[in-house]
Amino acid sequence: MEHAILKAACAIGAGICMSIGAIGPGIGEGIAVSKALEGMARQPEATSTLRTNMILGCAIAETTGIYSLLISFLILFAVN
């Protein structure tokens, strides 16, 4: 019985970790793309610089989601 409760708690914890960890990068990347497109519309000559910086920023923001995925896997599979 104790093992089943531990597994259920691990599953709930991993789900909470992923739901919180996935919301932040999603919102951040959405804002970054929005502002980059706005900047491209206002200054078309700066499109290549803005695109490069946007892709770099989105990649950095996505690492938060990847870290939370790693932590949720550790919670699920490394805890006995």
Tell me the CB-side half-sphere exposure of residue 8, using CA atoms within 13 A: 5
Q: In the prediction, which pLDDT does 80 show?
A: 59
What is the percentage of the chain residues whose pLDDT exceeds 70? 99
pLDDT tens digit string along 25-34? 889 889 999 9
Average pLDDT, the chain: 89
User: What global pTM score does this model have?
Assistant: 0.72
Residues 6+ apart with CB under 8 A from 69: 18, 21
